[in-house]
Amino acid sequence: MSGQDFVERNRLWSRLGDAVAKHGEPLSTPVLVVDLDAFDANAADLVRRAGGKPIRVASKSLRVPALISRALAHPGMQGVLGFTLREALWLHEQGISDDIVVAYPTIDRGALADLVASPSAAAAITLMIDNVAHLDVIDSVRRSPAVPVRIAIDVDAGLQIAGQHVGPKRSPLHDTRAVVELARTVVDRGGFQLVGAMTYEGQVAGLQDQVPTARAKSMILRRVKTLSVAQLAVRRREVADALAELADLEFWNAGGSGSVEDSAADPVVTEVAAGSGLLVPRLFDHYRSFRPRPASFYGLPVTRKPSAEMATVHGGGLVASGPIGPDRLPTPWAPAGLELTGLEGAGEVQTPLTGKTAALLEIGDLVWFRHAKSGELFEHGNTVHLLAGDELVDAVPSYRGCGQSF
């Protein structure tokens, strides 16, 4: 940790502490906080990086209706990239967006029945497919194709190298022929409209490529990203030209917070997805493409002092999804100089902390953590407090606080 980082993190601790003190009323823990100054700065930076192409807000990375609406209010941000159909139906019902693309195929027959029963929802929501079976499920819940269902095709965006596939294991549609075959089925089948395509290059967008403690690995990842971008540009053009003979697509979605510039630079791409770049969780700290401005934190109170050199906070075990490893654990962030222990890590009911700063903490003090992944933090609380300057200016519900679980 540099001296500047140390100072900035301690300033954050003072700022958050002052905000909680000014609030006056006791706050239940974990205290979930989003720094609106950082959030808005991150939004502006994402728009700048997109170079004029609209950014579709990835709701999975926010999960707070007020934050989704705030992001959409920024010029240059347009539409939502949802993660379930039930979520999309709810966002549409709440009036948050009338342009929602569900990023993953759905086989939720109940939600599909609700979709085809609502012409307004069907006009606002686009479903993702990569298999004819997805169309079959939709047809199984409706008696008539009178309400057309908007469809986008998820095209694999992995790097093909030396007979290996590098990237997220998503779509089975690897080549142009397979994409066109499915697209033709959509176009020829009654009750469907082919309106879009997606290529999510997760091996570019979702991997840190400038980690100080992993220089060799970072160098390899940068090479993988360069190869991926070049190969994908050729494949996208081939697929897009072939699809143009079947349908006039409304959009081609690509990328994520870590690949905004590269994805937006491709002429085929009409919009870029982003969400994590608004809150910047720990897994987004070390990208060459942007400077991180952490915007989400959660505070836990010190409830024990096992020794003069340790402090134990209540709860804390908010571990992120993905491959098991230390990078999925939350990070004690402010005050600076705290570490998890190797024996207990981040626990369900308590988290002991070590480090020189631990000796200065007293029972009742709040320690602020950062979650490893964006959005998932807000599944652990009903209320998110919004920070502006050094004041908590609002308290808004998360999806969970709205009684929703997607």
Task: Return the sign of the alpha-carbon dihedral for residues 72, 77, 81, 85.
Answer: positive
* pLDDT for the residue numbered 135: 98
**What pLDDT sits at residue 163?**
80
pLDDT at 365: 96
> Which residue in 85, 23, 25, 99 sits closest to 55, CA to CA?
99
| CATH code (residue 23) | 2.40.37.20
Is 268 strand, coil or helix? coil
CB under 8 Å to 286, separation ≥6 — which residues? Answer: 208, 209, 210, 211, 212, 218
Whether residue 308 sits in one domain with residue 237:
no
Same domain for 219 and 135: yes
Domain's final residue, options 216, 250, 276: 276
Q: Does any domain span residue 138? A: yes
Residue with tokens 């009323």: 25
Examine the domain organization and report whether 310 and 257 are in the same domain: no
| Mean pLDDT per 10-residue interval, the chain, length 406 residues | 85 95 90 98 96 98 98 98 98 98 98 97 98 97 93 92 84 95 97 96 74 75 79 92 97 94 95 97 85 94 96 96 93 97 94 96 97 96 96 97 96
Q: What is the DSSP letter of 319?
A: P
Total domains in the fold of the chain:
2
Nearest 5°: CA angle at 253, between 371 and 91? 60
pLDDT at 112: 98
Nearest CA to 297 among 37, 12, 70, 45? 12
- Residue whose C-alpha is closest to residue 349's, from 378, 307, 373, 313: 313
What CATH number is associated with residue 154?
3.20.20.10
CA separation (Å) from 374 to 59, 282, 283, 302? Answer: 10, 9, 9, 25
Helix (H, G, I), strand (E, B) or coil at 357: helix
What local confidence, expressed as pLDDT, does residue 209 receive? 66
For the full predicted model, state whether its pTM sits above 0.75. yes
